[in-house]
Each structure stands twice: as C-alpha cells, then as structure tokens.
Structure 1
Amino acid sequence: MSTASIETMDQNKISTVYSTPKENKIKSSVSRKIFVVFNYTLLTVLAIVFILPVIHVFFSSISDPYWLNTKSGLVLYPHGINFTGYRLVFNNKDLVRGFGNTLIYVTSATVIGLIVTIVGAYILSRRDMLFADTIMMLISFTMIFGGGIVPSYIIMQKLALLNTRWAVILPACVSTYNLIIMRTAFQTVPPALEESARLDGAGDLTVIFQVLLPLVKASVATIALYYIIAHWNSWFQASMYLQDRELFPLQLVLREILIVNDANTASSMTTLDAVSDANAFKQLVKYAVIIVSSAPMLVVYPFVMKYFESGVMVGAVKG
C-alpha cells in the first residue's frame, strides 16, 4: 500500500472521529427546555415583584397628596405631578443635617475600614506568619458569637465615645466577612510577584499598595460596596450611642418619620406657604424621603457592579 493511500485512510479516520453530522448533534431534551422556561418565568416574576415597590414609591412621591391619601393599592402611574414632597424634604433641617452626617459616617468608616481590612488581610495571608490560621479562626468566631449590646455600650462609655461621631464610626469599621474576602484575594496572588518586589527593595507598604492591590482591585471594590451599603443603612448603633440630634444620621431621622410617625416631625416639615394641611402631606413626605435616601446607593451601585461578581468569587475555585 502506498504512502498516499495510508495518509488518505488516516485522514478519513480523523474526519470520521471529529465529524459532527447534523443527525448526531446533541439536542436539548424536553426536560431541559422546561427547566429553561421555568427559570426565565421565575426570574421575570421576581424582577416584577422587586421593581413594583420601587415604581409605587417613586410615582407616589410625585402624585397629588390628597389623591394619594384616598388611594389604596399600588400606584403604577403618577396622578397629578407634584414635587411638593421633595421641597418639604429638602426644607427640613433634620433631614438635610442627617444626610450630611450620613455622608461623614459612610466616608470615614469606609476609608478606615478599607485600610484596616487591607492591612489586616495582608498580615494574615502571609505564609510565614506564626499562628495565622489560629488567629483567623478566632476572628471568624466573632461572626457566630458576639459580646452583646450591653458590653458594647459599656466599652463605648469607658472610652468616652458616647454621643460622639466615633461611636458610630469605630465599632463597625471592620467586617470579618470582608476580612476573609480580602485575605483570600491576597492568597491567590503568586508569591513570586512579592519576592521580585522585595528583591528590588520594596517594603511591606510598597508591596501592599503597589504590587498586590492593583491585582485584587475587584475584591477591594466589592468590600468597599459592602461597607458603603452597611454604613448607609445603619441606624441601630446611632440610636444606642447618640443623644444629640445634631449627630443623627439620615436613617435614624428616616426611622422617626416612617416608624415612630411622630406628628410633630411631620408638622415641622410643613414650612412652605403652599402647605396648609400637614396630615395630607404626611404620606407624600414619607415616599419622598425613601427616594431621597435610596437614590445615592442606586447611583453608586452600577459603577462597582462590574467588579462585584469577580470580587465575591475570589477563592471559590481552587487549582
């Protein structure tokens, strides 16, 4: 048999093995199609369920207050465009001051939390650190068991932090979960990169901020988002440690309006000449406050969304 014939036979075998004729293609089974349809239907229903309350609150905040008081059920369209609720919100000194306080708390606690979390995660991720796993286990134990409210209050009292901004910023500036994410991210960086930097004379701070952080910026963005959302929505610590209303965050003021439903608070908002009936505008103000307090998070979230998935999945796949 000639060499050409052998090569032809080999090519025919290869084409037979790797050929994918139309009749041999894998077709989706009926169960697979049902599963896909069910998933899309379920996700669509969940999306509608999650979006409807947002639509209801937004359209209610710009509707006629007298019509709103007589309306029951969901508001899916605005009835008489009216921005009086937003004018009342921004004319309320407590809300404006609370908004400013929240910005201070969120910015300070997030910056401090990021610095402490990054440095702590770097130290605990070093392979030559003694008892690193034991220390990490003790830190992780705080996710399951905490000291309680009374001991925390006593600590704040002994440190003379009660009724100060630091009482809101310091206790929650580090999250164990975020520390674990950051530590895992540092452990995924090849050790050779750090060794090369140290051969060039780099110190620990140079290694952290110029070598490691650029490689784990997705994780940094993720924990930054966690800190921002947590501090933006925080009100319980402020209610325990703060007595001066000048220091109240926005969420604590919002709680007074939405939950306590104090008539004096609602009446204090009616500073416009066009408002003659405070009770008629009470619901309108509540919806406007919800939109104003939620809008900053809705604006920030899309900018870090591209880092969110990769940052959370760090360390999920080994190998």
Structure 2
Amino acid sequence: MTTTSRFPSTLPPRTDHAPRARQRWLGRSFDAANVLLLALICLLTVYPFYYVVVASVSEPNALIAHRGLLLWPQGFTLDAFTRVWENPLIRTGFLNTLIIVIGGTALNLVLTCFGAYALSRKRLAVEKPILLLVIFTMYFSGGLIPIYLLVRELGLLNSRLAIILPFAINVWNLLILRTAFNAVPQDFEDAARVDGAGDFTILFRVYVPLCMPTLAVIGLFYAVSHWNGYFYSMVFFQDRSLYPIQLVMREILITNNTESMMLGDVAGREALSNTIKYASIVMATLPILCLYPFLQRFFVKGAMVGGVKE
C-alpha cells in the first residue's frame, strides 16, 4: 500500500540568490570605498606633521634643494634640535608653559568640580537661574578690553596668574561634568550621608572616583588649552622671561627670529633657518601629544557623557 504526501517531493529552486549576491557586492564595494576615503583623509591629515618631523632631521642644504613630496629625510642631522634647545628663550618658554599647564589645569579641575557638584544638587533652590547665568556667558562676553582692565586692576599684569585666574572655569567642561555627576546614582550619596560624610567628602570620595574618565578628558582639554594658548600671553606679558613656548614659537615662525640660533653660520643661513623652524614645531608639539596614548581609553566614555539627556 502506497501513500502519497501532501507536499511535493522537490522544492522549487530559490530565485533570490542573484539579489543577495548583488547586495553583498554593493556592501563590500561601499566598505572598500569608505576605507579608501578614510585612509586618504588620514594621509592628508598626518602628512603635514610627518613632513615637519622628516624635515627637522634633514640636512639643511639637501632639504632646500629637494623638490616634490618629502617621504624620507634628506640626510640625517640633529643639529637643528641642538640649536633650538641651546636657545635660552626656548628653555624658559618650556618652563613657563609647564608651570601654567600644571598649575592652571589643577585649578581648573578643582573649581570645575566644585561648580559641577553645586549645580547637580537637587536641593539647590536657585539651580536653574544660576545655570542660565552660567550658560549666558558661553554666548556673550565683555570682550578683550574689559578683561584687560580687570586684570590690570587686580595687579596681575606681567604675572602667570593673568592667564590662569580669569579662565579658571570653562562653561562647556562644567556642563559636561555636571551631567556626569547627575548620572551617578543617588544611592551612593545617601549611603555616604548615613555614614556621616559631608559635601566635601562626598565630592572627593564618591563623585570624583566614579567620574574619573570624564575628569581625565576634561583635564586633557584644559591642559591642551593652556599649552596652545599664546594670545592672552601676548596681551598680558611684557617681560620676555615670562613668555610661554607658544609665544616663543610665534616669534620664531612669524617674525623669523632665528638669528640667535645661527651664530657663526654664514653659508646656508636660509636653509638652516628652515630646519630650525621645523625642529621648534616638533619640540613644541611632541610633549602634549605624549599625553594622548595614556588618556585615549577615557575618551569614549568621558567625552560622550555630555550627550546623555538627563
């Protein structure tokens, strides 16, 4: 006795292989074009700095005679770096910049923590009016002349405090840290208060350790701002011994002030001047770049916290 199945013994062939293969091909083509485009953008971004590094260690006369893309050093010499480091104004500039970066960043972080903690308190009755006043300063300011008059009346002209105290808190960083503090569960604060902790203890023993990634990113932002700052130093400093490294760099690059580093060299002065400029750029940029590898792991969590809606 034979039985027949209600279902056919053979299934009809699938007809969607071609569309799927086409979709895979389009996806791979898009990925390849995307990688190629991003690689080109990275190359255009990295090459200028690579050029400066390679040019700084090249022989001056060979470098100035070279035409086209510079892919490898034209000879090799560290004479430009030696001459730059022997310039006393460069060493003084590095010292002044380190004092400003370390002292300014420490003050920035402490005051930003205080402000963010105060604005994140739910029991603060005037939180919104104060927050509106703080945000108002992001869009409107008195300008350069009122800042200069304020610094002068405070007796801070020709003082490193002139470029630290007036810019002690950045409003954007304050708002980012406030958002990070608001993201900390209230249970941590309640448990600390049950144990008798005050506001200072809660801030430095609870909120600061939990928000360390955000603090690391904000600290890097403050440090880079101090390191690269030169405009207000140019306005507030008349004593050249207080010049930070970026202001010294401005003199070397814009005013072509390299004579003090080329004493005794008559031939090839223009070529040597170029390599000295490149070496100065490398020496002024390399220290702050060394911070990024140590803080890179904090960027994703710390820098994006400001985008979380409360």
Q: Same fold (TM over 0.5)?
A: yes
Selected match of 2:148 from 148, 153, 161? 153
Q: Find the aligned partners of 1:275 and 1:295 in 2 and give their Cα distance.
A: 30
Flag the 1:27–1:215 CA change in 2: closer, same or farther, 3 A.
farther
232, 257, 269: which is aligned to 2:261? Answer: 269
1:33 deviates by: 3.6
* Shift in CA distance, 72/163, structure 1 to aligned 2, threshold 3 Å: farther
TM value normalised by structure 2: 0.89
Q: What is residue 185 of structure 2 aligned with on the other side?
A: 190
1:100 and 2:95 aligned? yes
Which of 57, 71, 77 is the equivalent residue of 1:62? 57
Equivalent residue letter for 1:281:
L
Match of 1:88 among 67, 77, 83: 83
TM-score by length of 1: 0.87
- Superposition deviation, residue 200 in structure 1: 0.1
Deviation at 1:32, TM superposition (A): 3.9
CA-to-partner distance for each residue in 1:104-156, whole Å, 9 max, x for gaps? 00001100000000111000000110221221122112221221011111111
Look up the match of 2:105.
110
SS of 2:169 mapped into structure 1: coil
- 1:274 and 1:184 mapped to 2: Cα distance? 58
Instruction: For residue 71 of structure 1, report the CA deviation from its aligned partner.
Output: 2.7
2:60 and 2:268 in contact (8 A); partners too = no
In the TM superposition, what is the alpha-carbon distance from 1:74 to its structure 2 partner? 3.3
Amino acid at match of 2:261: M
Letter of the 2:280 partner, please give it. Answer: V
Q: Distance in 1 between matches of 2:146 and 2:190?
A: 44
Distance 1:294 1:258 in 2: 14
Pair 1:39 & 2:34 matched: yes
| CA distance, structure 1, for counterparts of residue 169 and residue 306 of structure 2 | 20
Contact 1:57 1:291 in 2 (8 A): yes
Show the 5 A alignment for 1:1-319. 31-261=26-256, 265-271=257-263, 277-318=268-309
The answer to whether the 8 Å contact 2:175/2:306 transfers is: no
Query: One-letter code of the match for 1:291?
Result: V
Match for 2:247: what amino acid?
A: L
Distance in 2 (alpha carbons) for counterparts of 1:259 and 1:274: 21
> Any gaps of 5 or more consecutive residues in structure 1?
1-21
How far apart in 2 are the matches of 1:260 and 1:174? Answer: 33
Deviates most, 70-79 or 250-259? 70-79
Distance 2:41 2:105 in 1: 31
Instruction: Please report how far the alpha carbon of residue 29 of structure 1 lies from its aligned counterpart in structure 2 after TM superposition.
Output: 5.2
Unaligned stretches of 5+ in structure 2?
A: 1-16
CA displacement, residues 186-230 of structure 1 (integer Å, 9 cap, x when unaligned): 000011110110110001111011111111101000100100111
SS at structure 2 position matched to 1:209: helix
Distance 1:298 1:111 in 2: 19
User: In structure 1, the residue corresponding to 2:103 is in which secondary structure?
Assistant: helix
| Identity fraction in percent | 40
The number of equivalent residue pairs is 293
CA contact (8 A) 1:188 1:315 kept: no
State the match for 1:6 in structure 2: none
